[in-house]
Amino acid sequence: MSGRLGAYNGSTLVMPDLTILEQRLLAPEAAREAMAVLRSFALDVWVFAGAPGATAPM
């Protein structure tokens, strides 16, 4: 890859070497509220914690 990349949710723009160009993160309470809504529909939730490879099912 030779261009900029965006995370599936569009909150992080990175270079091919994963250098972060820009991040737009949710406030912790907003993230918790969004997770509660998704879980109320029996959906799986994945959280990105800010470092490459730092995703985990919640």
Sheet holding 20-23, edge to edge: 5-6, 12-14, 20-23
pTM value is 0.52
Total structural domains in the chain?
A: 1
d(CA 3, CA 16): 6
d(CA 50, CA 32): 16
Confidence class of residue 56 from pLDDT cuts 50, 70 and 90? Answer: very low
CB 21 within 8 A of CB 6: no
* Residue-range definition of the domain harbouring residue 28: 5-57
Summarised one tens digit per residue, pLDDT across range 4-51 is 655 555 577 778 888 888 888 778 888 889 889 989 999 888 776 665
Nearest 5°: phi and psi at 11? -85, -15
